[in-house]
Structure 1
Amino acid sequence: MTTQEREPMDAKPPRTPIDAELEWQALRLRKIVHKQYELWAITRIVHGLDDPEIEWVTQQAVPAREEGKRALLDLYFPQFRLAVEIDELQHVDQVEQDRLRERHVIDTANVEFWRWKMQDIHTLDDARDRIDKLIGTLRKRKRKQIKKGTFVPFRFGRTYDPAEWIECGGVGIQDDARFRRHVDVARLFGKDLAAHRSGMLRLTESVQVWFPKLYPNKEWDNALLDDGQRIVQRLAVDATAGSDPEPLPAGSGSGETRLVFAHYRDEFGRIYYRFVGAFEHIGQDGHSADFRRNGERITVDGAGGFEITRE
């Protein structure tokens, strides 16, 4: 080895997956250091659960009621679609606001809430008891999914890898599959694309993949309704103001099925796409279209073959 090829004496060894995962978990907890009771409760839940197969996320972003904004869930368990909210004492005066926000998240993201109100906690034993009950619930749900054969153990990095989900045979609405780019979703269906920016990806004459933002934005005012059973697609008011509104995109014919991979952001603000169901176009009125869910799982073979089923 020449002098130029030698590794410096102080060179650090390459990072291992374990180091990367440890940093990843530490960063998640660092996001909540400014909240006194939330930090204590969440760290106790995470360390009390102590199960590497159960994923947990802090400050998970979901669409909010206000246009263009996000709500942040204090702690979220994707495998069980369970959100934990720690209401600090200032929430005493915003009960109705919290209720409306919770209802909106339930409707748009199909998330169940476990809420801890600090004004109801009087002793350390009260807090411990509440947390122990939550941990027991999480363990019970894991056992139930294992018994049904639906539990997918968390493994650092697998959530975002299309090859992992192809090996699993597909994705369902209960899976925590997060795809960073359109081309990652395309790989599920045997398509090796260098890039893809369109909101649609045609698979067959009657089936498309759709990548919508299910919240108001400059172009669209789409909404996931009825506990995830319905999507209404609308052109935003700003997109039609002052001119003749454009029609909905081609391909919105009655009977068409869209495999919906909705646009989300994780707790670090990074974009990902999550499968929320297969939806059949059932009607159109002016510049809005209505879709009903007709499938909760896509079975894929990685070579282009796929099947839509109900879970």
Structure 2
Amino acid sequence: MTQLEFISRQLSRAENKTFEHYVVTRIWHLLNDTEIKFVTQQYVKRPTGIALTDMFFPQLKAHIEIDEFHHKLQIEADKVREADILSALDHKIIRIDVTQPLIKINDAIDSIINELKEIKNALTDFKPWDFEAEQDPMTYIKRGYIDLKDDVAFKTMVDAANCFGNNYKPKGIWKGAAKNLKDLNTFIWFPKLYPNNEWHNSISADEETIREYCEIAARRQNHIQVALKDAVYSRIVFARVRSPLGDIMYRFKGEYKIDVEATNKLNEVVLRRTKTRVDTFNQTFK
């Protein structure tokens, strides 16, 4: 996928939503800055579930919310939703009321453009959007680490595993885990953090805790015994997720360690996040 295709597909996601499509496309074209990445229909975890924001600029930590006619009937609910997002992510939400006359909508969009530019200019650590590099394992191998704040997601398990000294070929991983040659006391894990057949794995709203649970008691007990017996308690997690465009990707969540006491008490494998940055590895760049 090229950067142009990514942008085009993002814009097309709003094409059946008349007012949203107008605002999103006008913002993008007037902003006219390909250094800035944007995503439409961005998933945001809330304590009570998941929210979708209309347009999101990851580098700027800014969400655009487009208030159509039905929002006037749910003002209080929107306030709660906004507070959840702000408290969970420390992001900024910019709202635009599209029930106004067109000239006022356009004025509001101009104001949003200025605000986004001001946010960018105020950032001392702003990194221009490099579409190809953000999904290339070599970007993180050469840099020496993967950080949660970079929102890293790879197209395949192989791409993620090869950041840690492996040399897998395409389609070279058929299991849900791989070795970490940088640190043999950890391994790379690619879980489905949602119900999947008899497995009901989950991640907490703050993403600090992961639970592995199997409905079949015998398999659950065996899995717990194996996990504790191996004594390799730490896992670098790349969760299997849907990208904003619907593709399967593997998103970095951090490094987690088995909480032995909680695992024995709750009769399921419980992992707590211990790191939001992990070191990558390659013999060539060590």
Pairwise same-fold verdict (TM > 0.5): yes
- 1:97, distance to aligned residue in structure 2 (A): 6.2
Q: Tell me if the contact between 1:232 and 1:288 (Cα under 8 Å) persists in the aligned partners.
A: no
Structure 1 window deviating more from structure 2 (172-181 vs 136-145): it is 136-145
Q: Tell me if the contact between 1:63 and 1:215 (Cα under 8 Å) persists in the aligned partners.
A: no
Task: Provide the secondary structure at the position in 1 that maps to 2:162.
Answer: helix
Alignment of 1:163-242 (within 5 A): 163-194=138-169, 195-203=172-180, 204-218=183-197, 219-226=199-206, 228=207, 230-235=208-213, 239-240=215-216
- 1:39, distance to aligned residue in structure 2 (A): 0.9
Q: Which residue matches 1:14?
A: none
1:79 partnered with 2:79: no
Distance in 1 (CA, whole Å) between partners of 2:78 and 2:269 is 30
Task: Provide the secondary structure at the position in 2 that maps to 1:198.
Answer: coil
Q: Which residue matches 1:263?
A: 240
- 1:222, distance to aligned residue in structure 2 (A): 0.7
Task: Provide the secondary structure at the position in 2 that maps to 1:188.
Answer: coil
Q: Flag the 1:246–1:103 CA change in 2: closer, same or farther, 3 A.
A: farther
Q: Tell me if the contact between 1:74 and 1:85 (Cα under 8 Å) persists in the aligned partners.
A: yes
Structure 1 window deviating more from structure 2 (97-106 vs 200-209): it is 97-106
Q: Tell me if the contact between 2:257 and 2:272 (Cα under 8 Å) persists in the aligned partners.
A: yes
Task: Give the total of aligned pairs.
Answer: 275
- 1:184, distance to aligned residue in structure 2 (A): 0.3
Q: Tell me if the contact between 2:94 and 2:112 (Cα under 8 Å) persists in the aligned partners.
A: no
Query: Could you state the TM-score of these two structures normalised by the residue count of structure 1?
Result: 0.71
Q: Tell me if the contact between 1:83 and 1:111 (Cα under 8 Å) persists in the aligned partners.
A: no
Task: Percent identity, please.
Answer: 29
Q: Which residue matches 1:275?
A: 252
Structure 1 window deviating more from structure 2 (277-286 vs 252-261): it is 252-261
1:173-197 Cα deviation digits (max 9, x unpaired) = 1114320111000111120113213
1:241-295 Cα deviation digits (max 9, x unpaired) = xx55613453357883221212221232101112122223334233334333322
Task: Provide the secondary structure at the position in 2 that maps to 1:251.
Answer: helix
Q: Tell me if the contact between 2:63 and 2:92 (Cα under 8 Å) persists in the aligned partners.
A: yes
- Please, what is the CA RMSD of the aligned residues? 3.6
- 1:172, distance to aligned residue in structure 2 (A): 0.9
Q: Flag the 1:199–1:245 CA change in 2: closer, same or farther, 3 A.
A: same
1:287 partnered with 2:264: no
Q: Tell me if the contact between 2:54 and 2:63 (Cα under 8 Å) persists in the aligned partners.
A: yes
Q: Which residue matches 2:29?
A: 47
Structure 1 window deviating more from structure 2 (260-269 vs 93-102): it is 93-102
Higher helix share: 2
1:37 partnered with 2:13: no
Among 137, 148, 163, which residue is 1:162 paired with? 137
